[in-house]
Amino acid sequence: MLGLTGLLAASTGVAVAFSATGDGAAGVAAEGAPPPIVEDYSYPGAAAIEAETGIKLIEGDGDIVKTSCDTTESVITVDSVELGSSCYEVIGSQGWLKMEIPRVYAIQGDDHTVNASLTVNGSTEQVELSPGEYNPVGEGQQPPDNDPATLVELRVS
């Protein structure tokens, strides 16, 4: 038995999916439909950036983005013994970006208050960066505090 929904579908050429119980509503899903949007905060293009620069950008809220160091804008500059300099622009008044940049020896802040998380000898340390100032970290510090440091997060609040 077709029922009213079946007759309407047949007469209009519209496909209707029925569940095993015949109620027509349960379990309907369009084949090939995209998955629901769920923000996982992964950094877009991270694999290409890592392949090109060696910098591993893991995740963030989109308010701190990697940018060219050849800019007149105020940016956060990260200096690494292994990977050279990389720059990050803060869009807005706050944000966060998780990353892995080994052997960081200095971070120059932009005009925001920035907190950097660095891993040194297996422990994570927090460093508050002075706005616009050159901040020695890791190997850039005086002994005995100059062990290699990996930058793991920038956070602006």
**pLDDT tens-place string over residues 70-124:** 998 899 999 999 999 999 999 989 999 999 999 999 999 999 999 999 999 999 9
Tokens for 67, please give them: 């940018």
- Give yes or no for residue 28 having a pLDDT over 80: no
- Give yes or no for residue 31 having a pLDDT over 80: no
Over residues 111-136, the pLDDT tens digits come to: 999 999 999 999 999 999 989 999 99
pTM: 0.74
Q: What is the rounded CA–CA span in Å between residue 44 and residue 72?
A: 24
At 2, the amino acid letter reads: L
Angle 74-80-86 (CA atoms, 0-180°, nearest 5)? 35
CA dihedral 123, 112, 102, 120 (to 10 degrees): -20
Nearest to 81 by CA among 37, 153, 18, 147: 147
145 against 122, higher pLDDT? 122
CA distances from 62 to 27, 94, 96, 102 (A): 35, 10, 8, 22
Q: What DSSP assignment string belongs to 100-147?
A: EE-SEEEEE--SS-EEEEEEETTEEEEEEEPTT-EEE-GGGSPTTS--
Using a 10 angstrom Cβ sphere, with 0-12 exposed, 13-18 middle and 19 or more buried, the burial of residue 92 is exposed
Q: What is the rounded CA–CA span in Å between residue 97 and residue 65?
A: 8
Q: What is the mean pLDDT of residues 9-15?
A: 46
Q: What is the mean pLDDT of residues 46-65?
A: 95
Q: What is the pLDDT of residue 78?
A: 98
126 against 4, higher pLDDT? 126
Q: What is the pLDDT of residue 38?
A: 52
